[in-house]
Amino acid sequence: MKDTNKISLSSQSLQTAMSYYMSGQIPAAEEMYRKVLLAEPKNVVSLHMLGIIAAESGRYDVAVGFLSQAIRIKKNDPLLFLTLGIALQKWGKLDDAMLKYKKAVSLKPDYIEAFMHMGDILLQQGRLDESELKYKRIIALKPDYAEAHFSLGNVFKEQRKPNEAATQYAAAIALKPDFLSPYINLGRLYQECGRLNEAILSCERALVRWPDNSLLLEELVEIIYLACAWDKMGDYETRLLDMVRQQRKRTSLFTILETSATMEDQLLNARSYSHGHEPPQQALFTHIPGRSGDRIKIGYLSSDFYEHATAYLMAELFERHDRSRFSITAYSYGLPRDNSPMRQRLVKAFDSFVDLRALSDHDAAQKIYDDGMDILIDLKGGPHARGAHRHSRPSPCAGAGELSGLSGNDGRQFYRLYHRRPVRYS
């Protein structure tokens, strides 16, 4: 027979812990949940919440441990599988996360949240047709789910179906007027299609609701410059630069170059932009001098290996590398593009062409490290760079900037030179 006093005490402690958690007192909540777990090692609520807290603080291995333990006790709880999937997804273990979401759906066939995360992973991996089906399944289950319409719009945008994408973004806005992302993506979509006046109107509509949103101001200023619609600039640029100077917000490293910002403004913005990007020491790869062969290995990281300005500017440079001295590899993380002549030319230009789309940042960095790159060049640079190369420095020498088309300073400290051996230039 269960001790009712003990159950009552546990219930009170769990309520107190949840109260701490909901009020943002996370350390106190974690301490209370651990006390409950110490008294009741099989308390699933405590294990679940400790998993959530660990994942939210970036301790993904700890989170997976708590959640796996909870599942061993309560084997058919779809919420536990969903939460474990989210922790694995944040950790970059996408295939493992997908398996947990599938298990959650098998236990709860109408589990919208699980379908949503599955669609997000498929979209990240560039599996657009599969991702489309997941989001459509969600909409069939819950037609008024704005987030699913927004994500389906993103799929259509990548599939180069602008009309379908615009319809989904508009649906998301109609269903959830305080949902910012569809406004921004709709403006970007119009911009990419050359419908600049509509893009300006979309951003201005959103600014009525979010007048101090720096991302909206940034998008609007950039579009106005593209459209040369000087009469519509008003005080938008001034407001944006004031935010940068007051260090309330940061803006794109490219956009600020288009404005009347001073060099001091640009540096201040760059430092703000890069803040927090420097990886912890324990996350860095260790590099052994002379690890590669006779030729220097250079990796080029970009999402633009297709019919893109960067490709046209760089293609001949790749082709002109001295292959007796250099081995060059392309690391592509862009979403699927058509099999254009430029893409075919680029594939031929490299010794190896590696598609990173299906890999998490962690696994992409591991791949680059395992390939033994001596030098990694980030062609995307600045505001659109992927984190694979920067979070753990998979090569001893990394660079960006002029090659990426960014003429300013991105303020980051992880582009450093680490020489394995003397390099002579002739």
Question: pLDDT in tens for each of the 426 residues of the chain?
Answer: 455 545 555 788 899 999 999 999 999 999 999 999 998 999 999 999 999 999 999 899 999 999 999 999 999 999 999 999 999 999 889 999 999 999 999 999 999 999 999 999 999 888 999 999 999 999 999 999 999 999 999 999 999 999 999 999 999 999 999 999 999 999 999 998 999 999 999 999 999 999 888 888 888 998 998 899 888 888 888 888 888 888 777 677 777 777 888 888 888 887 777 665 565 565 677 777 655 568 899 999 988 898 888 889 899 999 999 999 999 999 998 766 667 899 999 999 999 999 888 787 778 888 998 999 988 888 875 544 555 455 577 887 776 644 444 555 555 555 454 333 333 333
Sorted by where each starts, the structural domains of the chain and their CATH numbers stand as: 4-176 (1.25.40.10), 182-274 (1.25.40.10), 285-404 (3.40.50.11380)
Give the closest residue to 266 by CA, choosing from 247, 276, 253: 253
Task: Answer for the pair 364, 392: CB distance below 8 angstroms, yes or no.
Answer: no
308's torsion region: left (phi>0), alpha (psi -120 to 50) or beta? beta
pTM given for the model? 0.71
* Sole residue written with tokens 């505001």: 383
| Intra-chain end-to-end CA distance of the chain, in Å | 85
Contact 20, 28 (CB under 8 A): yes
Given this model, what pLDDT does residue 350 score?
96
List 377's β-bridge partners, or say none: 300, 399
Query: Tokens 């799929």 map to which residue?
Result: 155
Q: Contact 328/318 with Cβ under 8 angstroms?
A: yes
* DSSP H or E segment with residue 326: strand 326-332
Please say whether the beta carbons of 220 and 236 come within 8 A: yes
Alpha-carbon dihedral sign for residues 199, 205, 206, 207: positive
Pairing mode, strands 352-355 and 375-378: unpaired
Instruction: Judge whether 274 and 241 are in contact, CB under 8 Å.
Output: no
Q: Return the pLDDT at 215.
A: 85
User: Tell me, what's the pLDDT at 125?
Assistant: 87
Give CA angle at 224 (221, 227), nearest 5°.
Answer: 155
The alpha carbon of residue 363 and the mean position of all alpha carbons in its chain are separated, in whole angstroms, by 14
Dist CA 32 CA 38 (whole Å)? 10
- Model pLDDT, residue 411: 53
pLDDT computed for residue 177 by the predictor: 93
- Could you give the residue ranges of the DSSP H alpha helices within 320-359? 341-349
Q: Decide: helix, strand or coil at residue 398.
A: strand
Quote the CA–CA distance of 101 and 312 in Å, as a whole number.
41
Tokens of 202: 């979309």
Distance CA 220, CA 136 (A): 31
Q: What is the pLDDT of residue 92?
A: 85
**Crossing angle for the helix pair 341-349 and 309-319, to the nearest 10 degrees:** 30
